[in-house]
Amino acid sequence: MWRHFAALNHIPRPSGQEAAARAYVQKIADESGAAARTDAGGNIIVRVAARGASEQAPTIAIQSHLDMVCEKRPDTEHNFDLDPILPHREGDLLYAIGTTLGADNGLGAAAALALLTTPDLRHGPLELIFTVEEETGLQGAMALDASLIKAEMMINIDSEDTDELTLGCAGGAETFIKLPLGSAPIDSPQLIGCKLVVSGLKGGHSGVQIHEPLANAIKLLAGVLRAADAAGITFSLAFLTGGSAHNAIPRDAIAELAVAPEAMQSLEKIVAENFADLRAQWAENEPGLSVTLNRIECPRQVLSPSSQRELLNLVENVPHGVLKMSEVFPGKVQTSTNLAGVHFGEGVIEIASSSRSFVAEDLKQVQQNIRSLGIAAGAQVEMSAGYPGWEPDPNSQLLKITRVAYETVYGKPARVEVIHAGLECGVIVSKKPTLEAISFGPLIRGAHSPEENLAISTVEPIWKLLTTVLANLA
């Protein structure tokens, strides 16, 4: 399992660029004498013959995804298209140097490959399903050719808490506000250019960590600009950007401004005061928070006053965070949204939101509310169809067998939970409704951020759980 994980982390595998990782899976399948097939969506399915199983043993799918979220610290030199992930160990935790580790879901893919290359295991027929583009909205699973799947049960190895067996997940969808980019040339050669930067935040997974006290850099940046505006400081906004992935809470945001010389001292004072207030507010949960204002060459073009006003209104009013807690699953978030990104494009400023819910109607309502904000600002709005949730089946035979295996391995009962994040189980089960599914995995924290870490001591028990379940099913 560790060997395959190391090999995958030497292979660059951003979403949409999984060809080399898929070739590695194909190579291992060929060396093991297993049949592999790639579907039109780029997913690869490897069929493994039964070993030491009864003739009645069911076919089991083992499912993981090949891509990873590519996040790095601002001071880290790393090209995710070319460079390998460089791990380093701190006690029982494995990190990467300045980047995401890729344990999500490299460990799951490694576990599936280890089933293929480990002799003397006992299991029925297996279908190893390696999907692509999971991190960009479960695109690979959405495109999966379900006719290739003969399994009756599926084990997804993409959960991140060893104390839990996951039996359900939220559905999700994205909303894109595309505000027309109205611009105007700088009309005064005396204006000063400056860059306002919010950085050093932890970020994190926009589903499973959305309820945690994690700041959104875009929201903080907009708040500082709003404070400057409220103080009567006139500035012209030339550029604003933040966020890098729909499923990551934004860690950094940048704005470029043009300011009159006589207003510069007041702006510096407001930024310093706001930084002090934010540092006090977030001292415990965001100790790395930084707010800086530096002078740069003055921009030649700035936003028109109306575009600037609408952009700041939208960034302030588009929701972010927990919207509703679940009454069915105590302590679980039911509905949330992540203000995921603001980016300037060809003639438009795009504001991206990623929303999640266990309730399909809630999800639609959140998208409609964000759409209404965009329409009121004169923007075009696109709403993705998203992906379905996974409804839990507490009477699943696979759940019963896995619970027994869990107690054998861990010496204690497992908690059965649902997760406020997208798992491919929901998509695949929607394509094959008779499929029983369950998800588990090693302990991973900080996924989708450079703080992603894997608890090394939890890997071997997960391997034992997986092989014990398969042996019992055989």
Residue 262, SS3 per DSSP: helix
- What amino acid positions are annotated as catalytic residues? 67, 134
Q: Which two tokens stand for residue 160?
A: 């991140």
Within 8 A by CB and 6+ apart from 43, the residues are 129, 130, 131, 132, 140, 141, 143, 144, 145
Please give the Cα distance from 334 to 328 (Å, whole number).
Answer: 9
Angle at CA of residue 343, ends 339 and 347, nearest 5°:
130
Contact between 363 and 356 under an 8 Å Cβ cutoff? The reply is yes
Please give the Cα distance from 283 to 200 (Å, whole number).
Answer: 12
Please give the Cα distance from 195 to 132 (Å, whole number).
Answer: 37
Residue 254, SS3 per DSSP: strand
Within 8 A by CB and 6+ apart from 308, the residues are 236, 237, 302
Q: How far is CA 226 from CA 183, 240, 307, in A?
A: 20, 14, 15
